[in-house]
């Protein structure tokens, strides 16, 4: 179902072939409250809630929509799950790390991979690996730029919509490479803008933690903190070079467009960069 590209130009060509068709399909799709489709988490036909209240101007942001009404998993979370299951044999011995510890994606991966190490980010005042009491559970705190795990701890390291919120994301990628064993994989999703050659820096973080805004501030919702989290980057083509520079031998881009599975674009209709198709990265 996912087409994997090692050549960036081929990926861009595929996106540009799909884009006009996506606009027509999604103009019809967003008129519905729910549509029937196949949820790869539930492994059954389910209803997808088309819009979940996040909008791009007058249009629903379908990247966070197409949410399964049974398990609650969104378009982008199911897509990352599919990428993991396509890339990794799920077994009792597969060592996997996930940078989240709540929600449908966490629950799905925990069910399939008993050797899961999950974590959340609780703030820079916390020590790496420190356990926190949260929502009735003890949850590990991890900062992606200084992970507590020993070298070569995992067969797979994965995360979803994390890198855009990390100011020193290149250091985070190096840490992820350090804790991934030789032959292992890094699999992640991130808001990715195919028509940006260079990643857009949106704000500069100062030593005291304050931010100098270079673009209109953008914040994303967070499952742990009450406040939304700042978006430092809109990632573009040079993200692939950053992954390779972190020490990974290869990096591929996974792409899909399939309305039946709920894999549609973010429904962006405006000028400039902003349009996103279901896209995931796999580095080995």
* pLDDT band at 54; cut points 50, 70, 90: confident
* pLDDT band at 57; cut points 50, 70, 90: confident
Report pLDDT digits (tens) over 202-220: 999 999 989 999 999 999 9
Is the pLDDT at 271 greater than 90? The verdict is: no
Mean pLDDT of 110-125: 95
Tokens of 40: 């790869």
What structural domains does the chain harbor? 3-283 (3.40.50.150)
* pLDDT band at 49; cut points 50, 70, 90: very high
Calculate the average pLDDT of the chain.
Answer: 95
Assess contact for 63 and 99: CB atoms under 8 A: no
Which residue in 65, 18, 3, 14 sits closest to 37, CA to CA? 65
Is the pLDDT at 184 greater than 90? The verdict is: yes
- Percent of the chain's residues with pLDDT above 90: 88
Cα distances (angstroms) measured from residue 237 to each of 199, 214, 278: 7, 20, 16
Per-residue confidence (pLDDT) for residue 90, from 0 to 100 = 86
Cα distances (angstroms) measured from residue 235 to each of 25, 98, 147, 153, 213: 26, 21, 23, 27, 17
Is the pLDDT at 102 greater than 90? The verdict is: yes
Per-residue confidence (pLDDT) for residue 159, from 0 to 100 = 98
Strands 137-140 and 154-160: unpaired
Is the pLDDT at 53 greater than 90? The verdict is: no
Per-residue confidence (pLDDT) for residue 89, from 0 to 100 = 87
- Percent of the chain's residues with pLDDT above 70: 99
Mean pLDDT of 16-30: 96
Per-residue confidence (pLDDT) for residue 11, from 0 to 100 = 98
Is the pLDDT at 224 greater than 80? The verdict is: no
Mean pLDDT of 25-32: 95
């Amino acid at each position: 179902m996912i087409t994997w590209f090692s050549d960036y130009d081929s990926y861009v060509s595929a996106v540009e072939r799909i884009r006009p068709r996506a606009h027509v399909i999604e103009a019809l799709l967003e008129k519905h409250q729910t549509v029937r489709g196949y949820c790869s988490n539930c492994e059954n036909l389910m209803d997808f809630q088309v819009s979940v209240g996040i909008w791009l101007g007058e249009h629903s942001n379908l990247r966070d929509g197409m949410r399964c009404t049974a398990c609650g998993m969104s378009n982008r979370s199911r897509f990352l799950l599919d990428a993991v299951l396509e890339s990794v044999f799920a077994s009792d011995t597969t060592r996997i790390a996930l940078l989240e510890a709540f929600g449908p994606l966490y629950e799905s991966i925990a069910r399939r991979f008993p050797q899961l190490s999950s974590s959340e980010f609780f703030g820079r005042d916390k020590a790496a690996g420190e356990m926190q009491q949260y929502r009735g559970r003890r949850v590990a705190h991890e900062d992606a730029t200084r992970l507590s795990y020993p070298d070569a701890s995992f067969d797979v390291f994965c995360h979803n919509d994390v890198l855009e919120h990390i100011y020193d994301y290149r250091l985070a990628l190096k840490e992820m490479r350090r804790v991934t064993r030789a032959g292992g994989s890094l699999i992640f999703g991130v808001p990715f803008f195919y028509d940006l050659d260079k990643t857009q820096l949106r704000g500069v973080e100062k030593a005291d933690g304050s931010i100098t805004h270079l673009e209109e501030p953008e914040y994303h919702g967070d499952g742990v903190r009450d406040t939304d989290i700042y978006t430092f980057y809109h990632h573009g083509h040079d993200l692939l070079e950053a992954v390779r520079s972190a020490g990974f031998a290869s990096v591929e881009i996974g792409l899909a467009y399939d309305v039946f599975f709920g894999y549609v674009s973010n429904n962006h209709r405006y000028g400039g960069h902003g349009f996103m198709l279901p896209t995931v990265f796999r580095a080995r």
